[in-house]
Amino acid sequence: MFTGIVTDVGVVASVSEAGNLRRLRVESAYDPATIQLGASIACSGPCLTVVGFGPLGSGAWFEVDAAAETLARTTVPDWGEGTRINLERSLRIGDELGGHIVTGHVDGVAEIVRRVEMSAGDNPWGPTARFDVRVPHALARFVAEKGSVALDGTSLTVNSVDGDVLSVLIIPHTLAVTTWGDRKAGDRLNLEVDLMARYAARLMGATG
């Protein structure tokens, strides 16, 4: 389980293929003493398992494997050397739940339709940005105004919904400490819908 609160932006250092697996080496600022083999790290949304790690300068490198299901449902196939990805380590008992409950199980891929810069005005921390994002039609029913959604592993509040398009507002801090500062129209994002919405829809379907 995760919260959707990004704790580092890692960089993909290498990508290798072996059968139906893709192994990625990621460089991060994490202390290697806090990483374990078999640990779960959310990498721009997908929950991936650490299969190797070690120290690197003042931070660490770690390796994860992406299998066929992950490659089919996420943006992982788009990642290459130098790709920046949002990172979050799994939630531990006693940690603050600052975002919302995120599983790291991506439901599908959304696409940014438009980025609109909002004037900073008297704000000394810089401008905010609004993103209009088109979600797959089959997943649109799980998205609600003022509800929660995880996009590229970031917990966000849905400002509005218009058919298959939702909008989110990204504050200056989030633009600075995640990959959102780089995002533009046409970019693809990993989408995880709210867990409660998913189960509510399943129960409604089961009961007719």
Positions marked catalytic: 2, 40, 47, 49, 67, 105, 157
From residue 46, how far is each of 85, 104, 195, 203, 204 by CA, in Å?
11, 5, 15, 25, 27
Q: Which of 197, 24, 26, 179 is nearest to 112 (CA)?
A: 179
Residue 119's nearest CA partner among 183, 182, 164, 172 is 172
Residue 173's Cβ-count burial label (10 Å; 0-12, 13-18, 19+) is exposed
Q: From the centroid of its chain, how far is CA 137? A: 20
- Beta pairing partners, 25: 14, 63
- Kind plus residue range of the DSSP H or E element containing 8: strand 8-18
| Side-chain-side CA neighbours of residue 112 (13 Å) | 19
